[in-house]
Structure 1
């Protein structure tokens, strides 16, 4: 029988083996084939096989079909990997702050529908004592807070609830309405330095605050009501505060105090306090320099540390879990892998991770990629001056540098592995006026970086791709 006489079920079965270009060609054969090639499950399968991080709920909103989602996103990724000015992306300089920008984060969801209707929104805090929100595509300010009593030093955003959380250099923490900029709540720590992290599920987030004295406060969001106060370390500066992808575990550590071992706390010990001592356990490694949770695992912790006996810099990976016995619960840190860094990567100042088993290290002006077992996967020297930040997501890596450039890389699947491909530079301003990029962040349709000027102010450089 001719193919076109196949029953619909048979036709759909055959089409389920086709890639997108063949499916588009099949749709041109006749009306029956065209209708079959439009079936949502075919394009849904293609989308989910290409992008494991595809947000199904986002894709199904409104009138957009899975076919439109697939085609729009494919085209956008092609543009983001190619990076031709004007043709693929538009660049805008966004100014407004009167001081140095000390923190930036997206308020809009990282996942887009790729239909051209959504706008990217970033928030910034500055030494000019304000927090502001910006429309990336339009290059305009959406709102600004009033001038605060002290310079603002860091921020977190909660896109699910459209909230912005800031802290100033006097230890005051505030929550702001992300849509209007209206102040919603305040919590005062009286500490000259704080570190903030969100924990808990998106529907019910908590804020954990580490202060200079080694104390952890856990607060409700958005009301900032104190839930617990725990002394993690005695008079110890906590500069490592990271929550696991499954939101169950909190890494607490100090890179400035060699004899203090990093600890892992269970979330419930902080969000549901009891009279018992909080459930925690020390990591069995020496001086901790940096750490990262592997994003594709529930609780896999990658730690950069100094080996106690050899004094060599090592990377050790642990899977964190709890073990319940008759009368108690224990936290287990099961070692998965460990290796000593080679001489060429001996002084990394940035540690990030990808997937389940890939480590990215910023070492001076270079970036080195290792597996968690120590296999050297790639080494890049695309910058002329120090790398200041590394953004990593499921599709790309972007580095910022003091040489006033960004470098864009994309992940590619080759056989049974993932390879990072270096693509192109995005350039900032003139060396006459600029002292380099200090931070970079991305969503699925834009890249935004903080460019510091020699006059002491900062601006945003926004690169948004044409949908």
Structure 2
């Protein structure tokens, strides 16, 4: 049975929420949507973030509601940030063609793997490789991420092994056989607590692994994992802000 609170207590409760939570509250039902879209709440959020926000500001921006103003302004800020964060980098000519590439923008680092399975870590501020390593088997997938233990590189090969390297020296932390065949997808959860490894094949099910069991092999006798019983899917998403929820689109 639905419980309906009077408008004033509801508005008081909603006034403590941030923008993301207000947008979620607006999806509950029609009444909640009306309250959570109130100009009173969204103007308060605008003034908290940008200090000077009055009716003249709203009219100058050509917006009808403070909610619309807030969302558009946030997107503008993020677009400017992305534009400022772009770094153009070009590696020197390599003896073998580069097959895979991943980056860590926060550290201005790029990682490449060529057709001879040579791994190189690059400083994007110059054209010199900071570290080099090699694998014996061909590589199929590549991912660089930050974890609570530090930045790492994950590489999957054609034999179904995952290799974990430390950044910036490309020291090999561990090598674990996780699937019977090479996998082509590495998907890390938002906080990098979990990693899903998958291959699009009707008879191969994706697996989710506990990241720490790859990084701290002395504490785990074997990788901690679970199998997702869905083989036919097109895309994979970890749900934002939810470390334990994943979506597979079939």
TM-score by length of 1: 0.37
| 134, 139, 142: which one aligns with 1:196 | 142
In the alignment, structure 1 residue 245 sits paired with structure 2 residue 211:
no
| 171, 180, 187: which one aligns with 2:126 | 180
Structure 2 contact 153–165 (Cα < 8 Å) conserved: yes
| 36, 54, 65: which one aligns with 1:23 | 54
| Equivalent runs, 1:54-133 vs 2, <5 Å | 76=76, 112-113=80-81, 118=84, 120-122=86-88, 133=89
Residues 199 and 22 (structure 1), Cα distance of their counterparts in 2 relative to 1, 3 Å cut: closer
Structure 2 contact 92–127 (Cα < 8 Å) conserved: no
Distance across 1 between alignment mates of 2:171 and 2:158: 20
2:158 maps to: 212
> What RMSD in Å do the two structures reach over aligned CA positions?
3.6
2:205 maps to: 261
Residues 251 and 120 (structure 1), Cα distance of their counterparts in 2 relative to 1, 3 Å cut: same
Residues 295 and 111 (structure 1), Cα distance of their counterparts in 2 relative to 1, 3 Å cut: farther
| 299, 319, 327: which one aligns with 2:244 | 299
- 2:223 is paired with a residue whose SS is coil
Distance across 2 between alignment mates of 1:266 and 1:153: 28
Structure 1 contact 260–287 (Cα < 8 Å) conserved: no
Residues 270 and 113 (structure 1), Cα distance of their counterparts in 2 relative to 1, 3 Å cut: same
Residues 297 and 231 (structure 1), Cα distance of their counterparts in 2 relative to 1, 3 Å cut: same
Give the paired residue count.
199
Between structures 1 and 2, the one with greater strand share: 1
Structure 2: unaligned runs, 5 residues or longer: 1-39, 58-65
C-alpha deviations, 1:106-148, integer Å up to 9, x for none?
xxxx77459x9x36224xxxxxxxxxx1xxxxxxxxxx32211
Structure 1 contact 261–285 (Cα < 8 Å) conserved: yes
Residues 23 and 174 (structure 1), Cα distance of their counterparts in 2 relative to 1, 3 Å cut: same
How far is 1:180 from its partner?
Answer: 1.0
| 130, 149, 174: which one aligns with 1:228 | 174
Structure 1: unaligned runs, 5 residues or longer: 1-12, 27-45, 53-69, 78-109, 123-132, 134-143, 305-314, 316-467
| 199, 211, 216: which one aligns with 1:272 | 216
Structure 1 contact 263–283 (Cα < 8 Å) conserved: yes
How far is 1:299 from its partner?
Answer: 3.4
Distance across 1 between alignment mates of 2:174 and 2:80: 36
C-alpha deviations, 1:329-367, integer Å up to 9, x for none?
xxxxxxxxxxxxxxxxxxxxxxxxxxxxxxxxxxxxxxx
Residues 218 and 282 (structure 1), Cα distance of their counterparts in 2 relative to 1, 3 Å cut: same
C-alpha deviations, 1:295-328, integer Å up to 9, x for none?
3432321124xxxxxxxxxx4xxxxxxxxxxxxx
Structure of higher RCO (CA pairs closer than 8 Å, 6+ residues apart)? 1
1:147 maps to: 93
Between structures 1 and 2, the one with greater helix share: 2
- 2:213 is paired with a residue whose SS is helix
Structure 2 contact 87–124 (Cα < 8 Å) conserved: no
Structure 2 contact 161–182 (Cα < 8 Å) conserved: no
Distance across 1 between alignment mates of 2:45 and 2:197: 49
- 2:147 is paired with a residue whose SS is coil
2:25 maps to: none
